[in-house]
């Protein structure tokens, strides 16, 4: 059976989604302050590899764990919600099937305990 990674169109499609996703994130004043000092080229690359792996593609993600990557940022549930919402809207814009979006969002939701500051 094809993985969700293959179904969506592999790494090239995910890369386009990630670009559109960060356009939305950086336009959102409730969360864009988190990324002021971020090298966005590197960030897009990391996020593409991470999402590819999370969707069943090859594991080329050599970055840090979700806990370590977001440590000390004081990310609150509303920030997580905003980011997740931008991802969902991006996938809708790219006409990814609703049932596939639901699977992606469930996986992303599962990361919340690792990313939100306790
Ligand atoms: C929704 C699920 C999320 C995923 C899958 C995710 C994924 C990632 C990945 C893969 C990295 C790169 C880690 C590395 O250095 O290797 C990263 C870094 C980062 N993330 Fe997230 N993230 C998520 C949510 C969030 C949220 C909610 C925020 C803040 C509102 C956020 C802000 C950041 C920032 C500021 C960095 C560091 C960039 C830098 O190095 O300057 N992320 N994230």
For residue 40, the domain's CATH number is 1.10.490.10
Count the domains in the chain. 1
Binding-site positions read 46, 70
Tell whether ligand 1 has an atom less than 6 A from the beta carbon of residue 48.
no
The number of helix segments (H) and strand segments (E) in the chain equals: 7, 0
How confident is the model at residue 95, as a pLDDT? 87
Report yes or no on 105 lying in a domain.
yes
How confident is the model at residue 55, as a pLDDT? 86
Per-position DSSP letters for 64-101, written without gaps between them: --HHHHTTTS---HHHHHHHHHHHHHHHHHTT--HHHH
d(CA 36, CA 47): 17
Tell whether ligand 1 has an atom less than 6 A from the beta carbon of residue 43.
yes
> Could you tell me the residue range of the domain that residue 23 belongs to?
9-115
Q: How confident is the model over 100-118, as pLDDT tens digits?
A: 999 999 999 999 999 999 7
Average pLDDT over residues 21-26: 96
Q: How confident is the model over 47-90, as pLDDT tens digits?
A: 999 889 888 899 898 899 999 999 999 999 999 999 999 999 99
């Amino acid at each position: 059976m094809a993985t969700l990674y293959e179904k969506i169109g592999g790494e090239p499609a995910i890369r386009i989604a990630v670009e559109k996703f960060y356009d939305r994130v950086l336009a959102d004043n409730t969360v864009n302050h988190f990324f002021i000092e971020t090298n966005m080229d590197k960030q897009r690359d990391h996020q593409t590899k991470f999402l590819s792996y999370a969707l069943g593609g090859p594991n080329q993600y050599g970055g840090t764990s979700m806990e370590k990557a977001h440590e000390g940022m004081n990310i609150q549930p509303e920030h997580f919600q905003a980011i997740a919402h931008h991802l969902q809207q991006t996938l809708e814009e790219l006409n990814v099937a609703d049932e596939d979006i639901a699977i992606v969002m469930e996986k992303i939701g599962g990361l919340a305990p690792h990313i939100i500051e306790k």
